[in-house]
Amino acid sequence: MLNGSISYWRNQLTTGAITPTELVEEIARSMEERNPAINAYISWDKESALAAAAQADLSRPLGGIPIAVKDNICIQGAPTRCASRMLGNFRSPYDATAITRLRAAGAIPFGRANMDEFAMGSFGKNSAYGPTDNPAAPGHAPGGSSSGSAAAVAGGMAIAALGSDTGGSIRQPASHCGIVGMKPTYGRISRYGLVAFASSLDQIGPLTQNVEDAAVLLNALCGHDEKDSTSSTEPTTDFTAGLGQSIKGTRIGLPKEYLSDGNDPAVTAALQTAIAKLTEQGAEIVEISLPHAEAVVAAYYIIACAEASSNLSRFDGIRYGHRAEGTNGLDNLYSRSRAEGFGPEVKRRIILGTYVLSSGFYDAYYAKAQKVRALVAQDFAAAFEQVDFILGPVAPTPAPALQGADMTPLQIYLADIYTIPANLAGLPGISVPCPQPAGARPVGVQLLGRHFAEADLLRVASALEQALA
């Protein structure tokens, strides 16, 4: 089992206590020993990681640091399957910009992290390559859809990982696995080479052992990319600069709509602890209201599925991906290739998305959802007139058992209620673990900030992390 943050291992590398090659070997050993029980990784290529390690430039900020990568972010020459049978034989012919940037910072992409198929799911169970166990609460779901990324970091099989977050898919598994997960502002990190799920919501981000590592990874990942027309031209900054600085006088909003009786007592307790610790640090907690908080799940699932049905139409069995055998004509080839390639949740969402975009229903569902989305964004704009940050739960409950009563799709969707708003409004959000009694499942709390306020958000998250420690 591998312990230690990015800064720990960077120190070990630069002082010569360990070589990059030895570090890759160490991670591979941990992976080979622990992955059969956890299934955090669904493929890895030790030889290419060792080749990169042999060339590692330790003078770069992430020099020699292996990073696990969710299976929906393209790595040249590596399987990029989105944990789907549809892409069972797919090897990416190019690197995602996030990977290019990691490599430029000296990091070594190593290991494809398991996930819910095409990032559709909240518990990691929707993978064509089997579910992932939660190393911090064995027998329980690691959360999703970045299930493998979270489990690899929490299970001592990765120093840090990349995930993607469309409705909470970084922050929620981070919370369930007891680590830090951050979704930056929409557009902060290029989505070029991220297999598209819902393009107006998707964002790449880090899953790490602590807040500092998230800041270090943002330093490498953020910045405009002409290959992604939605990537922001907003200037980047040193995201580590504010870490350790005081949060005295910071105004943090607590939405009254988030204090639901439906929250698990452990979630409520974590929130109370965070409030107490932030207050101790000199922050002022202000009750606020997000009047459209209850509308977010309905708006989100219409928008996300509509965008998914459009994005996933590219999987047609022609240019890449699975092609059914023995088909009769082009339409039959499309329909059967898609039938054989996609799993049940992906099919369900394609059907829902196609329906809400179809003639006669577009205005009632899709256009209506986009208008409600505007109301949700207005709620946040008004809230950020009053406060600098917003504190809330990540999920209404800790991780559910892997085996157990199956929830209906609607019940599963409703559990995304606290993470979805940041995606609808494009805001940055971070999940910070709140220490739990021995044997209890991990629970995180979430902080949201204004657009492009990641540096400040990380400063507050870091202060909270320190106060909770």
Partner 1 sequence: MQQPQIDVAYIAGLAKLELTAEETERFSADLNQVLAYVAQLEQWDTATVAPMYHPLPVFDAVRADVPGTSLSNEAALTNAPAAEDGQFRVPKVVESAH
Q: Does 261 bind partner 1 (CB under 8 A)?
A: no
Q: Residue 172 and residue 312: Cα distance in Å, rounded? A: 24
Q: How far is the CB of 79 from partner 1 (least distance, A)?
A: 11
Q: Does 166 bind partner 1 (CB under 8 A)?
A: no
On the question of a cis peptide bond just before residue 232, with omega within 30 degrees of 0, the verdict is no
Task: Choose one: 1-9, 131-139, 238-246, 319-327; the region binding partner 1 (CB under 8 A).
Answer: 319-327
92 is annotated as an active-site residue: no
Q: Which of residues 344-383 bind partner 1 (CB under 8 A)?
A: 344, 347-348, 350-352, 354-355, 358, 361, 364-365, 367-375, 377
Residue number, 135 or 341, with CB nearest to partner 1: 341
Residue number, 75 or 299, with CB nearest to partner 1: 299
Q: How far is the CB of 456 from partner 1 (least distance, A)?
A: 18
Residues 306, 357: contact at Cβ < 8 Å? Answer: yes
Residue number, 8 or 355, with CB nearest to partner 1: 355
Q: How far is the CB of 226 from partner 1 (least distance, A)?
A: 4
Single out the catalytic residue among 127, 169, 175, 337.
169
169 is annotated as an active-site residue: yes
145 is annotated as an active-site residue: yes
Task: Choose one: 1-9, 89-97, 249-257, 381-389; the region binding partner 1 (CB under 8 A).
Answer: 89-97
- Angle among Cα 269, 272, 273 to the nearest 5 degrees reads 85
Task: Choose one: 12-20, 135-143, 239-247, 336-344; the region binding partner 1 (CB under 8 A).
Answer: 336-344
Q: Does 20 bind partner 1 (CB under 8 A)?
A: no
Residue number, 276 or 330, with CB nearest to partner 1: 330
Report the residue from 335, 362, 407, 466 that binds partner 1 according to the rule CB under 8 A. 335
Task: Choose one: 95-103, 106-114, 289-297, 382-390; the region binding partner 1 (CB under 8 A).
Answer: 289-297
Q: Residue 82 and residue 197: Cα distance in Å, rounded? A: 10
Q: Does 195 bind partner 1 (CB under 8 A)?
A: no
Q: Does 295 bind partner 1 (CB under 8 A)?
A: yes
> Binding residues for partner 1, how many (CB under 8 A)?
75
Report the residue from 10, 34, 191, 292 that binds partner 1 according to the rule CB under 8 A. 292
Going by C-alpha positions, the residue among 131, 230, 139 that lies closest to residue 184 is: 230
Report the residue from 15, 249, 319, 403 that binds partner 1 according to the rule CB under 8 A. 319
Q: Does 59 bind partner 1 (CB under 8 A)?
A: no
Q: Which of residues 92-151 bind partner 1 (CB under 8 A)?
A: 93-94
Q: Which of residues 390-419 bind partner 1 (CB under 8 A)?
A: 408-410, 413
Q: Does 8 bind partner 1 (CB under 8 A)?
A: no
3-state SS of the chain is CCCCCHHHHHHHHHCCCCCHHHHHHHHHHHHHHHHHHHCCEEECCHHHHHHHHHCCCCCCCCCCCEEEEECCECCCCCECCCCCHHHCCCECCCCCHHHHHHHHCCCEEEEEECCCHHHCCCCCCCCCCCCCCCCCCCCECCCCCCHHHHHHHHCCCCCCEEEEECCCCCHHHHHHHCCEEEECCCCCCCCCCECCCCCCCCEEEEEECCHHHHHHHHHHHCCCCCCCCCCCCCCCCCCCCCCCCCCCCCEEEEEHHHCCCCCCHHHHHHHHHHHHHHHHCCCEEEEECCCCHHHHHHHHHHHHHHHHHHHHHHCCCCCCCCCCCCCCCHHHHHHHHHHHHCCHHHHHHHHHHHHHHCCCCHHHHHHHHHHHHHHHHHHHHHHHHHCCEEEEECCCCCCCECCCCCCCHHHHHHCCCCCHHHHHHCCCEEEEEECCCCCCCCEEEEEEECCCCHHHHHHHHHHHHHHHC
Report the residue from 96, 128, 201, 460 that binds partner 1 according to the rule CB under 8 A. 201
Q: Does 304 bind partner 1 (CB under 8 A)?
A: no
Which residues is 431 bridged to in the sheet?
A: 181, 446
Single out the catalytic residue among 70, 125, 183, 277.
70
Report the residue from 90, 192, 197, 418 that binds partner 1 according to the rule CB under 8 A. 90
Report the residue from 210, 309, 431, 436 that binds partner 1 according to the rule CB under 8 A. 309
Task: Choose one: 38-46, 116-124, 332-340, 432-440; the region binding partner 1 (CB under 8 A).
Answer: 332-340
Catalytic residue numbers, as ranges: 70, 145, 169
